[in-house]
Structure 1
Amino acid sequence: MRLLSEHLAEAVALVTPLAVETVPLLQGMNRVLARDVIATLDGPSFDNSAMDGYAVRVADAVAGSVLPVAADIPAGSGLPAPLAVGTAARIMTGAPVPAGADAIVPVEQTDGALETVRIDVAPMPGAHIRRRGEDVTAGDVVVAAGVQLGSWQLSGAASAGVATVDVRRAPRIAVLTTGDELVDPGTVPGPGQIVDSNSTLLAAMVLGVGGVPVVLPRAGDTPESVLASLDGVEADLIVTAGGASVGAYDPVKAALSDRGVTFHAVAMQPGKPQGLGVYRGIPIACLPGNPVSVAVTFQVVVGAMLRAMLQAPEPIMTSAVASVGWHSPHGRTQFVPAVVDPNGTVRPATVRGSQSHLVASLAKGRVLAVVPADVDEVLPGDTVGFMMSHLEILA
């Protein structure tokens, strides 16, 4: 049986980094950043008020004092005149703080008057003033290369004066499912038929990593059908599901074994039967057919290939205490779709363990628990490592 580490090394070696392109911020959503985002301006770009209230000099604003209101400073106004000694300026949130003022008194701590204002609570120096550059300074790295961009990162880039981002080209990933027994979702299965959930699963996982799914026509259980579905495919990576094992009707293995793809028994559960290679110049990963195996092998194996293509870092592993126990096959790394309970403990998403056909249980899973190959059993109270869901395999 092939070591998982050996299999992953071969998978990564099949692919090369994708090209870099510059896109407007919103088009960067879910894409992987190729170059650091560098701030072009300070944030904030000027001292401004964090509250609606009054700009004052601390020395003047003792509790009970009454100060003439010398100016109104709304947000969006230009640079205000300096604050005269012994006066206050009514100021709105986000408005520039006048020179000379060293605190903001919130309106709730005053009588809220317009011509003169009574200060009910003396402010501390610097109170409620957002200082220029306290969040970011021009030249700082706002988002580091390798991050998959989300709404928070794009917002940070925008606030730092950046309008475009340099990202890796979105990978085009062709997905192919096989099986005469498969019918489309929404179809009532006949005798011996099952619903094709793998096409939806693979396409959704591709979208989750910022890729473009190319869903190929579903193939039947003959090598000729597989080759017909692959005919003319254009993609950065091909992923197949099903037909890669040792059965009498494993059409992917029969079709591709002499066309640049090698099939292995990999020391992982689920996902033992897999293939890797290059088909007509395109890297290809052949996954098992059971849906949980598809989900796991995509996350573990295809995920490694995508990180190499996108130059993204390895996913963050964390750990939790197991609330229940379960068995693990000796000599194979086990991956279990799991739930993290409100108390922070982790348990399998299904009471029936890591059986690869239990696709409906994937809907409950939020993490993928990882049991090392030398562990035969997880006991309640054991610490279990896990990685995040398929939507976060790039970071």
Structure 2
Amino acid sequence: MTGKDDGTGRTPGFRDTQLVDGPARPPGEIPPVPTPRSVTEGAVPLPPAESVPLSVICTVERHLDEILSSVPQPDPIELAVLDAQGLLCAEEVISQRALPAFDQAALDGYAVRAEDVAGARPNAPVSLAVVGESVAGAGVPSSIGPGLAFRVSAGAMLPTGADVVVPGVWTDQGTVRVEVLAGPPTGGYVRRTGDDVAPGDPAVQVGTPIGPAQISLLAAVGRERVSVRPRPRIAVLCAGTELVDVGTAPAPGQVVDVNSYALAAAARDAGAEAYRSGILPTERRRLTEVLESQLLRSDLVLIAGTFAPGGFDMVQEVLAELGQMNFRQVTMHPGPVQGFGRLGRDQVPVICIPGEPVAALVAFEVFVRPAIRLMLGKRQLFRRTVQAVAGQPLVSPLGYRQYLHGTVMRHPDGGYVVEPVGNGTEALLARMARANCLIVVDEDVTGVAAGALVTVMPLLLGG
């Protein structure tokens, strides 16, 4: 999940974006070294990993592997080609047509015989008689012989006997006779029948992402519909008696449900068809009905809330009645308590993540986004990472993998520089909104010195 430094501070193959290529420090300027900052600042102190019972402790990799090994592969569906944009092709599309279907001019000019213009020079032009004109869409067969030219437009059918198109700018643009100042080689500026695709050739192969170019090719070979890997249907719910919807003014002790909005947006950005189902009911029978209905309509259910390993509130109890759910302490921060299970008649994957908004989005990046991309059939499940120079010292609790929001930027001397967002006095949501990356500090690292390399995961929209 981490990139390898190539010696320049960059990870080979990493796609830069405007965010990463943002403001850079002036050459030679060294970041100031502030007081070492704890990356757990403002968070609930973590217990030492060794103090958590082994029955409920779990590494990030183990929890992720359990999720990825259990998510389903949705069956392919057939969609109109425009609706298939952004998805992976699930069939090998074989062309029944030749593309192009006939010999045609590649640009505006004159269709001629190559041997007639082989010696043409600006100081010794070749004069040819213009005997006709062919425009795109005209299907009347025509032909030329020695010493003759046919005026053609781009895409027009080439007359029989012509084997080259002289660009109009290489001539005097004559209408009765044309003076050719230079002659292309045989086949120049001509599209031959089947040059793009011949009948029986694969036009789009299995696993190909369908973008504008693929849609163009599918339309050209006559396909109105294509089989694709569908977007997984993700239901996003939030648990908590303190939650109120965004349109309600929170009373003392209440908080606005931001997770269902943020997580639904994150799921859509990852490529899923996400449904924001909102706040779970607090009445047991209604809670069971809502969860059962979401299991019937979803490929994956995502629940954000405050859970405890081995502890049971009403939501955990109802989930346990619907199947095997495991809540455990994962060696990560923020949000060490995570849950996963397969519930209901169809064994639908259910991922439970922390209810604190920053921890929820971090958990989404680490566990949910790779699952969505696997369901989409993507080969690249994880965001690409880079090695960046830490702009200030960081400390991290031993035994926990730390994920800290930061800003990464290019350094004019090469590579990247990264700093945590904010100074600990700003609201967490405001800091997170200004970040463009996650700084990842491994479990066995307790401190990162200013100027040392650290792993950075740029948060690219749609990446």
TM-score by length of 1: 0.81
| Partner of residue 285, structure 1 | 351
Q: 1:213 to 1:319 in 2, by over 3 A?
A: closer
* Shift in Å, 1:373: 4.2
Q: Are 1:267 and 2:331 matched, yes or no?
A: yes
Q: Which runs of 5+ in 2 are unaligned?
A: 1-56
| Partner of residue 305, structure 1 | 371
Equivalent residue in structure 1 for 2:183, among 108, 122, 145: 122
Per-residue CA distance 1:181-200 (angstroms, 9 max, x = gap): 44444666555554432212
Equivalent residue in structure 1 for 2:82, among 26, 32, 51: 26
* Shift in Å, 1:224: 7.6
**How many percent identity over aligned positions?**
33
Indicate the SS of the match to 2:175. coil
Q: How does 1:150-169 map to 2 (within 5 A)?
A: 150-169=211-230
Does structure 2 conserve the Cα–Cα contact (< 8 Å) formed by 1:349 and 1:365?
no
Does structure 1 conserve the Cα–Cα contact (< 8 Å) formed by 2:405 and 2:421?
no
| Partner of residue 59, structure 1 | 115
Structure 1 window deviating more from structure 2 (164-173 vs 308-317): it is 308-317
| Partner of residue 307, structure 2 | 244
Q: What's the Cα RMSD here? A: 3.8
Quote the Cα distance in structure 1 between the aligned partners of 2:458 and 2:267: 18
Q: 1:190 to 1:147 in 2, by over 3 A?
A: farther
Quote the Cα distance in structure 2 between the aligned partners of 1:122 and 1:308: 54
Indicate the SS of the match to 1:34. coil
Equivalent residue in structure 1 for 2:131, among 61, 70, 77: 70
* Shift in Å, 1:286: 0.2
Q: Are 1:102 and 2:136 matched, yes or no?
A: no
**Structure 2 letter corresponding to 1:60:** D
Structure 1 window deviating more from structure 2 (69-78 vs 332-341): it is 332-341
Indicate the SS of the match to 1:59. helix
| Partner of residue 380, structure 2 | 314
Indicate the SS of the match to 1:158. helix
* Shift in Å, 1:240: 0.4
Structure 1 window deviating more from structure 2 (138-147 vs 245-254): it is 245-254
Q: Are 1:88 and 2:158 matched, yes or no?
A: no
* Shift in Å, 1:276: 0.5
**Structure 1 letter corresponding to 2:170:** Q
Structure 1 window deviating more from structure 2 (106-115 vs 377-386): it is 377-386
Q: Are 1:232 and 2:288 matched, yes or no?
A: no
**Structure 1 letter corresponding to 2:81:** L
Per-residue CA distance 1:63-106 (angstroms, 9 max, x = gap): 32222212211112226423322222211112233343333222
**Structure with greater contact order relative to length (CA < 8 Å, sep ≥ 6):** 2
Q: Which has the larger radius of gyration?
A: 2
Equivalent residue in structure 2 for 1:351, among 421, 441, 450: 421
Q: 1:34 to 1:226 in 2, by over 3 A?
A: same
Quote the Cα distance in structure 2 between the aligned partners of 1:143 and 1:370: 38
Structure 1 window deviating more from structure 2 (378-387 vs 312-321): it is 378-387
Q: 1:70 to 1:27 in 2, by over 3 A?
A: same
**Structure 2 letter corresponding to 1:55:** A
Per-residue CA distance 1:265-319 (angstroms, 9 max, x = gap): 2233444211001233332100112333323322332233334444432336544
Does structure 2 conserve the Cα–Cα contact (< 8 Å) formed by 1:319 and 1:383?
no
Quote the Cα distance in structure 1 between the aligned partners of 2:305 and 2:189: 61
Quote the Cα distance in structure 2 between the aligned partners of 1:315 and 1:363: 24
Q: 1:278 to 1:164 in 2, by over 3 A?
A: same
Q: 1:56 to 1:308 in 2, by over 3 A?
A: same
Indicate the SS of the match to 2:188. coil
